[in-house]
Amino acid sequence: MRKNHLTCSTVLVAATLMGSWLTSCKRELLPEEKVKSAMLSTGAYTVLTTERPTLPPVAESSVELGMKFKASTPGTITKFRYYKVAGEAGTHTGRLWSADGSLLKTALFPAETDTGWQTVTLDTPYSISANTVYVIAVNSRSHYAATPQGLGTAINVGPLSSIAGNNGVYNYTTGGFPTSTYNNNNYFRDIEFVPTQDDPVPPAAPASLNASNITANGATLSWPAATDNIGVTAYELYRNGMLINTLQGTTVTVSNLNTGGLYSFYVKARDAFGNRSAASKLADFTTPNTSGITHGSQLTTAMVGPQAIGINTFTTVPGGVFRGAALSGWGNAARTVGTGGEIIDGYWFPAGTVVLQGADISSDITVTSGWLVLRGCKGGILLANPVGDGGGGAALFSQLIYFTAGHIKDGRQPASSVVYRCYFPHSGLENVYADNVTIAESWIAPDPDTVGTEHIDGIQTWGGQRYLNFSRNHMEFNPPHTAPYGLSALIGMYSDGTQNDGYDHVIVSDNYLILSAYGVALHAPLAVPVTNMSVTGNLWTWSTAAQDENYTNAVYHNPSQSIPDYTADGNSWTNNKWADGPHAGKFLLPDNRTSDTDTNGK
């Protein structure tokens, strides 16, 4: 077929990698309908369901186009289908072939619409055998749809599946058996299939999920086989609430994890009819941190920001709206990550990620699609990727005026947000409202409010969030530390009325929290559900303004608001201490009391 599909294939592969980069309380971050399944209301199945071409039509002379498929159970084919693109005209005939080229059934499409899915009902349903390969083909007159690599992997819908690879077949002889392939193109030829026997019963959930061989960038996951009344055909693997893979076996090695990253995996079993089990138990773990920094108290300003990686001169570039490609004016300061992705400063980014390095950004950057990494830069960034975009962003060794990540309540949800070894000399991370946020080994020092109306935080979240990792940061408020200069919390984890469903899978660990006479160090979640939250290893400096060891501004406590139970629901509160002062080495508890013993939050 036409070689000009190669460019489209490259784009498609990049987009696929972006979308996949990317889990007690389980919440899937993408709607279930994003995962192929769902039996049609008539009891029938199609391979391509409601898929539509996303690329412009291909103009070419008459050609026979087809798809190889099979069913895992016996049944009948009742209809032929194909997607008609703009510019296509004339009559069309569907043909069903055996894998060896025997013509089994033909049907002429009746009156067609100008574009869209066209269907012809067979005069007599054709019976097919289980686990046997067939080919459905429909001729094209002048224009057709082609999605490069659309059939490179199997599409599974209930008992139906396309054949993975060496698929997307064609023959320039109209009516001839299509055997040639190019680029595993999906030409949008399909059938409707009714199984002889339906199955509404889902498999049992896998009994457990175990993680082993955990490294800074990978792990091995394994689980016992699930059971089903007919048979399990696949397992779906979820990471931090997002489906990342569909597997046939019961063990897998996951790669492209981040150093010091918070991860939660689970699996679901799926049967031949597309029924899914409940989720397995969670496998939660944090990958080893390889940075050499074990606590925020070890940080100095020489370790963060551009100077830490030897960047002292900058190229001035414009800001603006980033839509997945470098902006005009970025020039040689920007590059694009190649095939296979890349680990940068311990964090993995997918192919197609734009890396902007050594730039002084003259105005704000708003990311609305794709992946953007600021490395050794100065400026500010807002991640506003819409839900399902699959993109996100990171700031590495940068000096920032702000870093903001939108939330699903606003229709925004970056796949991941990373801040590592960054320097905030006069501001904090206000409005960090997304899921999957990592803020690590950064120096965060907000200035106080001088106008009396601002809410000043070092890190501010607003509830309804999952998979947050705030670790090994140095945090303090810049002076003045007296009224009327407003300061709120170094780490403020609030709950707004529209985002009040709590927090799940959160780590607040090994941070160095420098108290002053004004402002709270840690405002942990209050009066909302909290699950799988670990607050551990944090150190507070003593403030001379504190008169009572049990009534300081170290941990915010409001007697009218309930404190999460840190001995249940996967939560823990351990080894949080005063770093100095009259109570050095003693433990701080969730209700802001100082204790000689560590009571795990009690």
| Paired strand residues for 160 | 71, 157
pLDDT digits (tens, 9 = 90+) for 109-125: 998 999 999 999 999 99
**How many other CB atoms are found less than 10 A from the CB of residue 203?**
23
CATH superfamily of 40-195: PHR domain (2.60.120.820)
pLDDT per residue as tens digits for the range 219-246 = 999 999 999 987 888 999 999 988 999 9
Structure-token pair, residue 169: 């077949």
Tell me the CA distances in angstroms from 592 to 61, 190, 436, 548, one per residue in order. Answer: 77, 64, 28, 11
The phi and psi torsions of 399 (rounded to 5 degrees) equal -105, 115
For the chain, give the number of residues: 602
| Per-residue confidence (pLDDT) for residue 42, from 0 to 100 | 46
Q: What is the DSSP string of 436-480?
A: SEEEES-EE-PPPBSSS----EEEEE-SSEEEEEEES-EEEPPSP
From the list 208, 207, 203, 205, the residue with the least C-alpha distance to 283 is 208
CATH match for 202-290 among 1.10.10.1100, 2.60.40.10, 3.40.50.2020, 3.10.20.30: 2.60.40.10
The CB density around residue 151, as the number of other CB atoms within 10 Å, is 27
Q: Please tell me the predicted confidence (pLDDT) of residue 408.
A: 75
How far apart CA 208 and CA 214 sit, in angstroms, is: 17
Can you read off the two tokens belonging to residue 16?
């696929």
Long-range contacts of 436-439 (CB under 8 A, 24+ apart): 436/22, 436/29, 436/240, 436/392, 436/466, 436/467, 437/405, 437/461, 437/465, 437/467, 437/468, 437/469, 438/258, 438/260, 438/261, 438/262, 438/468, 438/469, 438/471, 439/469, 439/470, 439/471, 439/473
For the chain, which ranges sit under pLDDT 70?
A: 1-42, 452, 483-484, 497-500, 601-602
Tell me the Cα Rg of the chain: 28
Q: CA geometry: angle at 390 spanning 384 and 391, to 5°?
A: 50
In the chain, domain spans: 40-195, 202-290, 368-595
Burial class for 338, CB neighbours closer than 10 Å (0-12, 13-18, 19+): exposed
Question: What is the structure's pLDDT at 601?
Answer: 60
Q: How many other CB atoms sit within 10 Å of the CB of residue 511?
A: 29
Rounded Cα–Cα distance for residues 121 and 140 (Å): 19
Tokens encoding 413: 């949800």
Q: Any residues with CB less than 8 A from the CB of 547 and at least 6 apart, and which?
A: none
Residue 17 CA to residue 341 CA, distance in Å, equals 8
In tens, the pLDDT along 148-167 reads 999 999 998 888 999 999 99
Please tell me the distance from the alpha carbon of residue 52 to that of residue 41, in angstroms, as a whole number: 20
Instruction: Return the closest-CA partner of residue 200 out of 275, 277, 279.
Output: 275
d(CA 281, CA 270): 16
The Cα–Cα gap between 207 and 303 comes to 45
Q: What is the C-alpha separation between 64 and 79, in angstroms, rounded?
A: 18
- Alpha-carbon distance 271 to 37, whole Å? 11
Interacting residues of 342 by C-beta distance below 8 A, sequence separation 6+: 348, 349, 353
User: How many Cβ atoms from other residues are within 10 Å of residue 597's Cβ?
Assistant: 9
Number of other residues whose CB lies within 10 A of the CB of residue 223: 24
